Structure 1
């Protein structure tokens, strides 16, 4: 999966709070969607998925097809 576009222009691609748990389910789902990751599940599952992505150093990997590719 190709990933590489700037974070700022993609709405929801940047976490707004330092603490990941402070984000709403919708914010977490959008963040995951921006990375081409599964966005279903309860808040604990979403938090775990986001944290795993961050821990893997992939927080800046944005899916090029997000929103139909309009950000590329």
Structure 2
């Protein structure tokens, strides 16, 4: 594989937001909280409050990013 200087990509706000968005979605998928039924399952399993709060924070970030899309 070729080496590229990715520092300019990391400085790009749009790329940074997209990367964070992907990370948040991946976390929700791993926790199986990426669907309505998955969230209900998390609640019925009585997962720790800290984990549920983290899931909520991830959803807040995702919803805010979708409501305020960056210019293309």
TM-score (norm 2): 0.31
Q: Over alpha carbons, which structure has the higher Rg?
A: 2
Higher percent of residues as helix:
2
Higher RCO (C-alpha under 8 Å, 6+ residues apart): 1
